[in-house]
Homo-oligomer: A and B are copies of this chain.
């Protein structure tokens, strides 16, 4: 039979391709590139179709679809969140995503996004910290040393210039893993024995723990003036990490309020709790940090536009390389009304 036409073939970036992209480019360079694409899209935030993600909840976890569009390109991500997976040797979060041409609806990129989501989450955190963290921040406390911790650490180094991470996790083995992975990456790494110890001298506090429950990873008295809190782990209904008292003392910045009020730390607060949309800070419309002793809090839940930006980055990076595989995903008959004829002509010879 004849080969499918170019229109029928969708570039597919596998996990292996993505890892090769990282090694060829350098992880910190990828994180910087992702941050640039995300920042550029946050600047044109108003252009995007925005909708809270479409979530299918079950007892064990959640499966979500996160669509968005800038009017020319459409993107969506499939992502699951199953905290119990880790105990079974599976990823808590796996993901893949797609870009399509709004003009004709044809997909133009399919990509793994388990790795890409880890990188875009870290790139978003660091890009936002560039706007909100105190000037001259050198030290981050990394509370929760799971799959996201190394990416957060290196993104804060590459984009915000920190030189020290102080690690803590309820499981010492996670801290040991993170410390081993970060060895030789140009960061001073300080494993700590408690959350209190980890935040000593840190200007940036990143929380990223995985329990699907309301927890108090940071209590009110642990947070002193002038720090920036980067709260990653409170990202679905019933899952928070911060004591409410911290929220009332902080300037709180979010991605998309209708989603964040359901999924973020601010789900603990009244519906009219004041927040600033971070895109307005990036676009120069609203103030970020207003004084050195202010506590700033990025209550991050992850938004579809960040995935869109990350897929755009990948699409641009793989052009002209061998970092993708053309996937026979779309039927493309010579005559578009003749799908049946296409099938008939593909009959094996008898």
Contact = CB atoms under 8 A, between A and B. Distances in A.
Contact of A78 (B91, B98, B115): B98
Given A118-B339, A341-B177, A333 B63 contact: no
Contact of A107 (B8, B56, B78, B107): B78
Contact of A115 (B16, B115, B334, B339): B339
A339 B23 contact: no
Contact of A94 (B56, B331, B346): B331
Interface in A183-234: none
Contact of A347 (B23, B51, B90): B23
A114 interface: yes
A96 B105 CA distance: 12
A130 to B, nearest CB: 22
Interface in A18-76: 19-20, 22-23, 27, 49, 51, 54, 56, 58, 60-63, 65, 67, 69, 71, 74, 76
Interface stretch (A143-151, A268-276, A295-303): A143-151
B328 A146 contact: no
Interface stretch (A79-87, A241-249, A305-313): A79-87
A60 B94 contact: no
A328 to B, nearest CB: 4
Interface string A324-346: 00011111111111111111101
Given A8-B15, A19-B346, A340-B147, A85 B60 contact: no
B19 A343 contact: yes
Contact of A181 (B81, B100, B341): B341
A350 to B, nearest CB: 10
Contacts of A328: 14-16, 112
19 contacts: A4-B15, A8-B15, A14-B327, A14-B329, A16-B328, A20-B346, A51-B54, A54-B65, A56-B102, A78-B98, A85-B104, A85-B105, A86-B337, A90-B332, A91-B331, A114-B331, A114-B339, A118-B340, A147-B336
Sort A-B residue pairs by CB-CB distance and give the 9 closest, nearest first.
A80-B105, A150-B340, A14-B328, A114-B331, A147-B339, A19-B346, A146-B337, A82-B105, A15-B331
